[in-house]
Amino acid sequence: MQAYRDQYADLFHDGQDVVLIGISADQPEELHSWASDADFQFLFGSDPGSGAYAAFGGDPRDNGMVGSRAVIVIDPEGRIAGVIPRFLQMDPTAYEGLAEIIDGAMPEAEPGN
């Protein structure tokens, strides 16, 4: 997840106009503590039962735990711009796909700007 944080400015246009949510099976208290300590700029959702994760296309492990995080991108209008059901944070190409979703969610620049 540190790769998310470290690429934030490039991928997320410094947080302008989009919201990123990573869904995790971690307990809320553990997730909050970890995310706060690591200074992440985006949101995490705690989903111990994996129901939300599965609803967004994730495939929970046999033990019900999330094998990877589902990543949801919300556009400036509050709509879901894209979902990556199983984001592979260690795979550099995963960030290319995420950047494409984010770029597609960004409002078009007006001519002359």
Question: CB under 8 Å to 47, separation ≥6 — which residues?
Answer: 23, 24, 25, 53, 66
Q: Which CATH architecture has domain 2-92?
A: 3-Layer(aba) Sandwich (3.40)
Cα-to-chain-centroid distance, residue 10: 15
Q: Residue 34's pLDDT band (boundaries 50, 70, 90)?
A: confident
* pLDDT above 70 coverage of the chain, percent: 73
Strand order in the sheet with 43-46: 43-46, 19-24, 69-74, 80-87
What residues does each domain of the chain span?
Answer: 2-92
Name the residue among 13, 6, 33, 32 with its Cα closest to residue 75.
Answer: 13
With 0.85 as the threshold, say if the pTM is over it: no
Pair 56, 83: CB distance under 8 Å:
yes
| pLDDT tens, residue by residue, 42-63 | 788 888 877 887 787 777 766 6
pLDDT tens, position by position, 37-46: 777 777 888 8
